[in-house]
Amino acid sequence: MTEFENLKSHWAKQKQTDTPENGSQTIVRKTTSIKRKQVLTNLILISTLAVLILFFFYVSAYNSSRATLGLGIMISVLAIRIVLEIFSIRQLNRLKFDLETAMFKQKISNYYKRRIRTHYIFTPIIIAAYSFGFILLLPLFKESLSSGFYLYIKISAIFVLIGLVTLIGVQVKKELSALKGIKN
Amino acid sequence: MPTQKEFDIIYKTNYPKVVRLCMGYFEGDEALASDVAQDVFIKVWGNLANFRNESSMSTWIYRITVNTCLSSLRKKRKTPVSVKKHLGHLESETDDLSSEKERRLNALYGCINKLNNDNKSLLLLELEGLPQKEIASITGLSHAAVRTRLHRIKDQLTKCVTL
């Protein structure tokens, strides 16, 4: 027996993991729950957009050109971001895991490259445009809100922006490490 | 449309093989390998209706396993290495023979972990006893390339484990 055959025999004789008794039923239940979650995610994203559009009409933003421009920019860039996200989730779901590994690696690398490109190019543009839209609305907030609430809106916006940038940064880091892991 | 009963048979037949293959990608971390194996079977169940007998069921499942493990490599270890080594040490006090086996197996996992992803996949499929033609069909490499690369990897592995 060669040394490698010896190792192969060690490999084959290692302690076998017990098969969970109702494992296949758990898998079927999990698959259903994953599908439900995906539908829920899409619903949340779409209803966020719907709420913003409703808000636009609720506050009669169309009566002021500044409000129309500010809210219009914010809603549009958010809509673009949501469409990009739904598109990306669909791409990931369509990824075939039963391809030959060489082909699979190429496809998943392309997916992560597209994600990273989105994070580096589109996301900063979207954040900048969203902030610009918000800044356009500030004089209107100042006119119609109490000074305390106006201050609160300004400060909370800064925190939201910092939170958002941090969150995106973490996501970029994760996806870069995934890409690195696959390419290794 | 496959039934749940058919899936149950596929699951029970392949689960131990899938976990063992996954353990090779995660340095013997059984908890993490079991998690990834669950992802593998979610994909198997989700795509079972699309399975055409172009390859054997086993080849198809191995392909999904290799690809799922590769895309899960960034997942964090569930069993800290120190705990595993400690348990190995306790076993060694009670049974010298099993401790030697444990030591060799740990060394094997350590050496597999030093390989790059492509070589890791080739070697793990070879350790599973798959014919080289089937390994070629899983990885998408030519039969000749699999043979040449495996020859080199086996040498590399043997030297690493005996060091």
Return the domain boundaries, chain B.
4-71, 82-162
Which pLDDT tens digit goes with each residue over A98-141? Answer: 999 999 999 999 988 888 888 888 889 999 999 999 999 999 88
Q: Mind listing the pLDDT tens digit for each residue in B84-123?
A: 554 554 455 556 667 777 888 888 999 999 999 999 999 9
Do the chains contact at A100 and B140, CB–CB below 8 Å? yes
**Chain position carrying tokens 């994953």:** A34
C-beta atoms of A19 and B16 within 8 A? yes
| Nearest CA-CA distance, residue A13 and chain B, Å | 10
Contact B141 A102 (CB under 8 A): yes
The answer to whether residues A168 and A115 touch, using CB atoms and an 8 Å cutoff, is no
What's the rounded Cα separation, in Å, for the pair B83 and B79? 7
> Within a domain: residue A34?
yes
DSSP-derived secondary structure letter, B101: H
Q: How many CA atoms does the CB half-sphere of A144 hold within 13 Å?
A: 8
Q: Is B109 on the interface with A (CB under 8 A)?
A: no
Topology of the domain comprising B82-162: Arc Repressor Mutant, subunit A (1.10.10)
Number of A/B CB contacts below 8 angstroms equals 130
Q: What is the ipTM of this complex?
A: 0.83
Residue A129 lies in a domain: yes
Determine the length of chain B.
163
Architecture of domain B4-71: Orthogonal Bundle (1.10)
8 A C-beta contact, residue A126 and residue A81: yes
**Pick from B12, B121, B127: CB nearest A19:** B12
| Residue type (1 letter), A111 | Y
Judging contacts by C-beta atoms under 8 Å, the chain A residues touching residue B63 are: 97-101, 104
